[in-house]
Amino acid sequence: MPSGPKNGPPMSADASAPVPAIADLSFEDALKRLETIVHRLEGGDASLEESIELYAEGDRLRGQCEARLQAAQARIERITLGPDGQPRGTQPFDAG
């Protein structure tokens, strides 16, 4: 990712605004940035060096999105019902 003026904060690929640290992005913001990167790479307008930087940033964003999804899944609980059909308690979510 290109750096800002005089080694300031990183700039977005189009150099229009500073890019916040990936760890500070919400899931939605990280996904939006990842989609922007994918469109930029698919467009073929980026130089080789910029494409490599964008790809690396996209990979970090993918990891951030995956971590946020796993954290959300860990917080989801499944309501269990007793033999009488009434709620009995909760169990951790099991996707499998």
Within 13 A of 91's CA, how many CA atoms are on the CB side?
Answer: 8
Output the pTM of the full model. Answer: 0.62
Report the greatest alpha carbon distance in the chain: 69
Domain that holds residue 43: 5-92
> By the 8 A CB rule, do 31 and 65 touch?
yes
pLDDT (tens digit per residue) in 52-73: 999 999 999 999 999 999 888 8
pLDDT (tens digit per residue) in 37-55: 999 999 999 999 999 999 9
**Could you tell me the CA-to-CA distances from 48 to 52, 53, 85 in Å, in that order?**
6, 9, 61
How many separate domains does the chain show?
Answer: 1
In angstroms, rounded to a whole number, what is the distance separating the alpha carbons of residues 10 and 15?
A: 9
In angstroms, rounded to a whole number, what is the distance separating the alpha carbons of residues 42 and 91?
A: 43
